[in-house]
Structure formats: C-alpha cells, structure tokens
C-alpha cells in the first residue's frame, strides 16, 4: 500500500513538472515568434526604403544623361522640360525633382536632386553631371 502511494506521488510530481516545462516552452516560443515577426516587419521597411532610394538614384542618373547629352545648346530648355518619369513619380511618395545649372570656372554642370517622403536619412538623392562643351554627335 505504501508503495502505491509513493508511486502515485511521483507520478503527480512528474506530471506537475511536465506541465511547468510545457508552459515555459510555450512562453519562450511566443517570445521568439514575437521577435521574429517584429524583425521581419522592420526588414520589409528597410527593403522598401532601399528600393525607393535605388529608384531615385537611377532616375537622377537618367536625367543627367538626358540633360548632358545635348551639350550646352538648348540646355536651359531641356532643364525647363525635365520632370520625373510617371513610374518614378507614382512609386516615390510625394516625389519632387529639382534641376539646376551650375556654371563655374571648371565648366558647366547639371545638378539633379530628387526629394521624397522618407523616414530615414538622407531624404534626397543628389547627383551632378558635367555638360560637354564639345559638339555632340546625333
């Protein structure tokens, strides 16, 4: 009879310890899942921000290529006509394009800035390109 009571107590203790282990394991799993979901959310934001930055950088390079391809002839008219492409304008939140002609002793340059709403730094892309003073072939 004593032996049965001892076995019964051991089983109850083992069952109680197993329940505590299950609860602790569930809590740890919940904490890990919460951390992974939060990290994934942040990584998706960084990926989206990087895509916007890359898109703005390519757009600025394309604009500099187009503006400087014609040389100095008609540069001011090309600057007046320049605008963000429709794809970039729709992808960048509140995207704006600023273009300036810079004349200095070293030559004529075109400064292209693209601004958009962005949570990180920097808040814009800025590229400068030299405009050739030589005659451009068609």
pTM: 0.68
pLDDT, tens digit (0-9, with 9 covering 90-100), for 40-60: 888 887 788 888 889 999 999
CA dist 8 and 12 (Å) reads 6
Specify the higher pLDDT residue, 108 or 70.
108
pLDDT at 58: 93
Question: Which residues, in sequence order, are CB contacts of 92 under 8 Å at separation 6+?
Answer: 52, 55, 56, 84, 114, 116
pLDDT, tens digit (0-9, with 9 covering 90-100), for 75-125: 889 899 999 988 988 888 888 999 999 988 888 899 999 998 877 666 788
Lowest mean pLDDT among 15-19, 28-32, 57-61, 106-110: 15-19
User: pLDDT band for position 39 (50/70/90)?
Assistant: confident
Structure tokens at 54: 């890359």
CA dist 2 and 80 (Å) reads 100
């Amino acid at each position: 009879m004593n032996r049965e009571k001892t076995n019964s107590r051991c089983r109850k203790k083992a069952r109680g310890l197993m329940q505590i282990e299950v609860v602790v394991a569930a809590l740890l799993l919940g904490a890990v899942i919460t951390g992974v979901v939060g990290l994934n959310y942040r990584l998706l934001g960084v990926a989206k921000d990087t895509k916007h930055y890359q898109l703005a950088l390519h757009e600025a390079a394309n604009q500099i290529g187009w503006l400087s391809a014609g040389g100095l002839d008609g540069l001011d008219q090309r600057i007046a006509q320049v605008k963000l492409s429709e794809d970039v304008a729709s992808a960048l939140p509140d995207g704006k394009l600023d273009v300036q002609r810079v004349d200095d002793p070293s030559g004529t340059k075109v400064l292209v800035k693209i601004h958009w709403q962005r949570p990180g730094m920097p808040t814009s892309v800025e590229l400068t390109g030299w405009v050739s003073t030589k005659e451009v072939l068609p």
